[in-house]
Amino acid sequence: MFSRLSLRTAAHTSRASISRSFSTTDISGKNSKVCAVLGAQWGDEGKGKLADVLAAEYDIVARFNGGDNAGHTLVVDGKKYAFHLLPCGLVYPHTTNFLGNGVVVNVKSLFAELAPLNEGGICTKGRLKVSNRAHLLFDFHQLVDGIQEEKRGKGGIGTTKKGIGPAYTSKATRNGIRVAQLKDWDSFEKSYRALAEAHETMYQVQVDKEGELERLKEYRARMLEDDMIVDGVHFINEAYSQGKKILAEGANACMLDIDYGTYPYVTSSSTTNGGIGTGLGIAPQKIESVIGVVKAYTTRVGSGPFPTELTDDLCGGDLPRGAPGTEIGRHLQEVGAEIGVTTGRKRRCGWFDAALMKYSHMINGYTSMNITKLDVLDDLDEVKIAVAYKNKETGEVLPDGSMPATLEELSAVEPVYETLPGWKTDITNASSFSELPIQAQNYINRIEELVSCKVSYIGVGAKREQMVTKGF
């Protein structure tokens, strides 16, 4: 959660104030025609903070993947707003916000998130558009998600149980229902009943079809009244042709990508750079800047491999209780307030993993990185960076950018660490890179060297204004 400056400024409310000077080497993300903000690790990196900062500079803020399994909180004029499905640009009156075809849309969640915004004085009328090709997520998808996770037992993936995976399953098996079908209620109802009955048969569950249909009919009317449903491909490309600036807001992160993540402990969508084109219908060459958001350490929530982990079972981790380094893992979790916004689960914590980031950068081609939560490391005597992975038995070091594709292969490697001195100084009042202690500067510079990617933003506290810039 973080605070944001008042919306009542001309820079935030006037479309004319948005810069039109586009750059193809824009590490700040402020001067691109299309910019993407992506999670670079296992999610929860603090993407919402940077997306909120950049949204002030953009006309359209778009989600291209996932559903209401994302989560961050914004504070606007003293009021808190939780975002799970909706783009964060809704807090800026000048923006139009868009859910692309790569998103699975829980309409009930959509309106539940809109309500407090409107009640808080942020008018959303006419400012949210949904691609007609996006797939709908229903109550029975959530029900099935829970059943599947329960059946996995101790081998559970750690799903949010929001129905994301089953909704994408319906899409992939070609019996899903697109947003466009809401326009023809008779056709929609027929398709809905068939899909609901198929889930009842497959999973031996009872679905309240009449109840959900009644709610959906009401939501449908509101969507049509507000002209929410659009031809998404035409909408986003027409906006681009008109010179509108587009910010793509990623959900989840690279290591949770359905193809490139630590499968099967991943999400069900394309979370990486390639997912922007397929999830919005925009050509890849139009994306001018991609900012990877990465914590100054590493976290992941739920089960799955975690080479640099420092947390034991008391902190929701996998290490033996009291194992070496677990006191640091607990410190990172407590100081970093590592509790999930969407799930309420404790996040497992570990050292910064440059080996992982080399792989992440190889896939996404980051223009720059936003390092978040550097201040969480303030009290540590020393900080470590995993610079490579090596085989536990043979000692063979994996090539830069190489990431094991199976759980067995990944469990067979261990990190190679480099140790740097800590700074033992409160950095939360730093307003420029030069004001950071030299040890903190060295830590950031070393990350740049290892990943071969510039750092453009550095988070030094939870508030919106506690963001140091570098290189621009």
* Burial of 410 (C-beta count, 10 Å sphere; 0-12/13-18/19+): middle
Q: What angle do CA 350, 327, 334 make, to 5 degrees?
A: 75
**How far are the Cα atoms of 47, 257, 368, 418 from residue 40, in angstroms, in the given order?**
9, 10, 11, 21
Give the CB-side neighbour count of residue 6, counting CA atoms within 13 A. Answer: 3
**99 Cβ neighbours under 8 A, 6+ residues apart:** 62, 63, 85, 86, 87, 105, 128, 129, 130, 131, 134
Nearest-angstrom CA–CA distance, 298 and 349:
6
Catalytic residue chosen out of the listed positions 12, 26, 59, 72: 72
Told to judge if 12 belongs to the known catalytic residues of this protein, a careful annotator would answer no
**43 Cβ neighbours under 8 A, 6+ residues apart:** 252, 253, 255, 256, 300, 301
Q: Are 163 and 138 in contact (CB under 8 A)?
A: yes
Nearest-angstrom CA–CA distance, 53 and 34:
15
State how beta strands 289-295 and 34-39 pair.
Answer: parallel
Catalytic residue chosen out of the listed positions 26, 44, 68, 139: 44
Q: Where are the beta strands (DSSP E) in 302-426?
A: 347-350, 352-353, 368-372, 382-391, 413-421
Nearest-angstrom CA–CA distance, 196 and 177:
11
Told to judge if 145 belongs to the known catalytic residues of this protein, a careful annotator would answer no
**How far are the Cα atoms of 50, 57, 135, 291, 388 from residue 30, in angstroms, in the given order?**
11, 6, 31, 11, 33
Nearest-angstrom CA–CA distance, 304 and 70:
18
Q: Which residues of 364-373 are buried (b: 16+ CB within 10 A; e: fewer)?
A: bebbbbbbbb
Nearest-angstrom CA–CA distance, 263 and 248:
24
Nearest-angstrom CA–CA distance, 19 and 244:
10
- Please report the DSSP string for 166-182 in residue order: HHHHHHHTT---BGGGG
* Number of helices (H), then strands (E), in the chain: 13, 20
User: What is the dihedral sign for C-alpha 353, 354, 355, 357?
Assistant: positive
Active site residues: 44, 72
